[in-house]
Structure 1
Amino acid sequence: MNAENARAQVFGDSLVCEETRAAAFVPMEFDPAAVRVACQRAEALLHSIAIIEDGKVEESDERGAHEHALQRVEAKLDLLTSLVATLVSSHRPPPAPRRLQWSALGACLAAEADGAGNAPGSNGMFRVQACDWLPEPLELPATVLASVADASGHHLWLRFQPLPPPLVSAVERHLFRIHRRAVAEARRPR
């Protein structure tokens, strides 16, 4: 499969964000139970990030402000618990920062040309540091569609496994926040 065919399958008509992030593809066999748990953790992580990053209260009444503040504290506690669990469970080094494009359907990331397990059809986890302030990686099950070398380097095209609709929605909202910040940054006078 060439890059254009992979681009159509990975991005389609969805919002695509391009950024430099700690990201990697980790080849592994899929266990349905492990994939389900990974999707649940990814959805919870994205939900917590959304609550924290969208900290502005739109409601004017005092009750709404207190409820939102409580949600933010709960989200931070959820993230703290997740971080501690990650520290206890493994001491794997974080992925290297690399250029990537991603959407709610999949990702394209710069990769090593000789990467083992990167053959089309390989399954694994796409790991990405979802935001600068949180070292906990977002993990999404993915399949390699293509491994393409071109003038700009070697790229790995990943298609996410069919994700549950709430997780797809959470990924879309997260990418929209990234896009919105990039647009705001581009509009700032320099």
Structure 2
Amino acid sequence: MNAHWPAPARAAETALFDDTLACDAILPAGFVPGPGTGQPHEAEALLRSLAQVEDLRGEDGAEEKRGELPQLAQRMDAKLDLVLALLGRLVRQSSPGLPALPLRWSVHGVRLELPAGPEPDGHGHGLVRLQPSEWLPDSLELPATVLATASAEGRRWLWLRFADLPPGLEDALERQLFRMHRREVAARRR
């Protein structure tokens, strides 16, 4: 926790990330102030589909598991990886994407580190947009409430609490965070 943050920011950090699994990452993300209900059913479908693909690909031992597949399946898997990467690049070129931001997120909400600019609005509601996977150019849109804002040392942060999520979406989000955490631990071990 940053000692330069004001008391409301430290309280928001505690509310969002204590006693729950939280992941730090740099992902395409943003916050759009204003009314909105988000797309909880689409977000759940995206997270569940992403989980199926990543579980089948076996990210932790992908190379070892690929060796177990017949050579034709390995080539198809490699081609699919290339097609997805190309599709993602084309989508990013054809539409303005979200900026990659340092963030921390849990099932309760997200803390965004924002680029230099005016102080973000410290009150209100809006939509958190977050791309949960680097290789898939699709994003979650979740309703959120601004808990706190802070600026220090030329940096700005925004703490956002997710609105009540449907149980299925909450489970899918927890599963995504667990996979991200597992990848973080595996990367540190290497």
TM-score normalized by structure 2?
Answer: 0.73
Matched, 1:108 2:111: yes
Three-state SS of the structure 2 residue aligned to 1:131 is: coil
Counterpart contact for 1:119–1:146, Cα < 8 Å: no
* Amino acid corresponding to residue 141 of structure 2 in structure 1: E
The alpha carbon displacement at 1:152 in A equals 6.4
The alpha carbon displacement at 1:113 in A equals 5.7
**Over aligned residues, Cα RMSD in angstroms?**
2.4
Percent identity over the alignment is: 42
How far does the alpha carbon of each residue in 1:94-126 deviate from its partner, in whole angstroms, 9 at most, with x for none?
11111000000000011246457x423321111
Q: Which residue of 1 aligns with 2:15?
A: 9
The alpha carbon displacement at 1:10 in A equals 1.6
Which of 143, 150, 153 lines up with 2:152 in the alignment? 150
Q: Which residue of 2 aligns with 1:44?
A: 45
The alpha carbon displacement at 1:167 in A equals 0.7
Q: 2-side partners of 1:185 and 1:101: how far apart?
A: 18
The alpha carbon displacement at 1:137 in A equals 0.9
* Amino acid corresponding to residue 99 of structure 2 in structure 1: A
C-alpha distance 152-13 of structure 1, shift in aligned 2 (>3 A): farther
How far does the alpha carbon of each residue in 1:37-88 deviate from its partner, in whole angstroms, 9 at most, with x for none?
x00010000000000000069xxxxxxxxxxxxxxxxxx9xxx9xx9xxx7x
Three-state SS of the structure 1 residue aligned to 2:98 is: coil
Q: 1-side partners of 2:164 and 2:153: how far apart?
A: 31
The alpha carbon displacement at 1:2 in A equals 2.3
Three-state SS of the structure 2 residue aligned to 1:19 is: strand
Q: 1-side partners of 2:54 and 2:45: how far apart?
A: 14
Which of 175, 185, 188 lines up with 1:186 in the alignment? 188
C-alpha distance 50-152 of structure 1, shift in aligned 2 (>3 A): farther
Corresponding pairs, count = 153
Counterpart contact for 1:6–1:145, Cα < 8 Å: yes
Counterpart contact for 1:113–1:149, Cα < 8 Å: no
Counterpart contact for 1:20–1:99, Cα < 8 Å: yes
The alpha carbon displacement at 1:8 in A equals 1.4
Counterpart contact for 2:26–2:101, Cα < 8 Å: yes
The alpha carbon displacement at 1:140 in A equals 1.2
The alpha carbon displacement at 1:166 in A equals 1.1
C-alpha distance 108-184 of structure 1, shift in aligned 2 (>3 A): same
TM-score normalized by structure 1?
Answer: 0.73
Q: Which residue of 1 aligns with 2:55?
A: 54
Counterpart contact for 2:33–2:124, Cα < 8 Å: yes
